[in-house]
Structure 1
Amino acid sequence: MQLISSVEREWKWTGIRPSQVVEDNAFGNLIVKDEDGRYWRLCPEDLYCNVIANDRNGLDALSKTQDFLEGWHMSSLVAEAKELLGPLKPGYRYCFKIPCVLGGEYGGKNLATITLVELIETSGHIARQIQNLPDGSQVRLQITE
């Protein structure tokens, strides 16, 4: 329930009204069913949350495509993360210290682990702040406690 609350709180600006997390992967990507029966993909590393299917049949069809499966499983990146950081502890996912859309390296020293809830909340917070910036904009990350 905390995960649904986190999606609602930090990603509602996208229009999502989550009712169920259907699936997640090792990098904290979520497939979320909304109150209208649509399916969304929340992608923390690329800072987006978009409708990917209008109903279960659409999701099932999408889930059989090679492009979706490759992007969802992230096999080579998961293998690299596991080699560098070890296996995931319960409730944790791999992540990028600096999201790739903000110039973070896609792997290597930019890999870390974080709780799934923290990943969803942090990525939603950042995504909301940069949503209207044109590509190539300069950003400055400021960490506050």
Structure 2
Amino acid sequence: MLLTDYLIEQKGKDWTELLSDWVPPLPSEFTVWMVNLFGDVFAVFEDGSVHLLNLGTGVLERLADSLDHFCDLVDQDDNADNWLMISLADACRQAGLVLSATQCYSFRVPPILGGSYEVENVAPCDLSVHFSFMADIVRQTKDLPDGASVHLVVQDLNTKQ
């Protein structure tokens, strides 16, 4: 297994633009270190600490004090599988879900809205759509109490009203 098998190729992508809706919770200055196949961002802050922005939940979590500390922690317990979602990515590949260079895996029903971490709830999605859509959902639900009911209306923008 190679770590890169579970990461989005960063070359040629405008991460500043893709993550513009995520400042905050991300600070205005940080470095994108890695992005897993589900669009979760491993960011290095100015103090050298490593943080994970989980797009499915909208949670920014400090993982390690430094890159070296991260490298030590990723090999412990289930950290690699949890942070990179290795098992789910493997299951998505086995189910025939193939990503293009401009896509990531996205949850049909986001975990923040009670969606499951299962292949049946995953579909390939354009990176810009995924990052923008998830930021919008997090922004609209951030002040709701746990267990609150949410009613989503999805409109097909290609049909005439």
Please indicate the TM-score interval, normalised by the length of the shorter structure. 0.7 to 0.9
* Distance of 1:4 and 1:62 partners within structure 2: 27
**Partner of 1:81 in structure 2?**
92
**Partner of 1:133 in structure 2?**
144
* 1:137 positional shift: 0.8
**Partner of 2:128 in structure 1?**
117
**Partner of 2:16 in structure 1?**
4
Aligned amino acid, residue 70 of structure 1: D
Q: What are the ranges of 5 or more consecutive residues in structure 2 without an aligned counterpart?
A: 1-12
**Partner of 1:47 in structure 2?**
58
TM-score normalised according to structure 2 size: 0.75
Aligned amino acid, residue 14 of structure 2: Q
Where in structure 1 do 4 or more consecutive aligned residues deviate above 6 Å?
none
How many residues are paired up?
144
TM-score normalised according to structure 1 size: 0.82
Q: What are the ranges of 5 or more consecutive residues in structure 1 without an aligned counterpart?
A: none
Q: Larger Rg: 1 or 2? A: 2
Would you say the 8 A contact 1:17–1:35 is kept in 2? no
- CA deviation map 1:77-104 (0-9, x unaligned): 1122223343211121111111123122
Q: CA RMSD in A?
A: 2.2
* 1:118 positional shift: 2.4
Q: Which has the higher helix share?
A: 1
Percent of pairs identical after alignment? 25
* 1:114 positional shift: 0.8
Would you say the 8 A contact 1:46–1:99 is kept in 2? yes
